[in-house]
Amino acid sequence: MKTSGDPDDHSRVLALIDQYRRIDAGMRELPIYNGKITIEAIGFRPFGDAARLGVVLTPWFMNLIILPSERAPMDMAEIGKTVFIELPTGKRAFVVGGDEMIGLYKAHSLHSPVLNFTLPGQAQAEARRMLALLMTPPEVTEEAATRNGGAASGLDRRALLFGRRALSTPAPTG
Number of domains in the chain: 1
43: nearest Cα among 135, 150, 121, 115: 135
What is the pLDDT, as a whole number, of residue 25? Answer: 93
**Cα–Cα distance measured from residue 64 to residue 107, given in angstroms and rounded to the nearest whole number:** 6
In a domain, 130, yes or no: no
Query: Model pTM?
Result: 0.76
What is the pLDDT, as a whole number, of residue 166? Answer: 46
In a domain, 112, yes or no: yes
In a domain, 169, yes or no: no
In a domain, 107, yes or no: yes
In a domain, 128, yes or no: no
Residue 54 contacts residue 13 (beta carbons within 8 Å) = yes
**Cα–Cα distance measured from residue 44 to residue 5, given in angstroms and rounded to the nearest whole number:** 12
143: nearest Cα among 154, 152, 133, 155: 152
Please give the full DSSP string across 90-112, using - where no structure is assigned: EEEEEEEEEETTTEEEEEEEEES
In a domain, 163, yes or no: no
Which domain does 68 fall in, by range? 7-118
In a domain, 141, yes or no: no
DSSP state of 152: S
What is the pLDDT, as a whole number, of residue 150? Answer: 52
**Cα–Cα distance measured from residue 90 to residue 73, given in angstroms and rounded to the nearest whole number:** 28
Q: 10-residue block means of pLDDT along the chain (174 residues)? A: 57 95 96 96 95 97 96 92 96 95 96 96 97 88 54 51 50 50
In a domain, 71, yes or no: yes
Q: CATH number, domain at 70? A: 3.30.1460.40
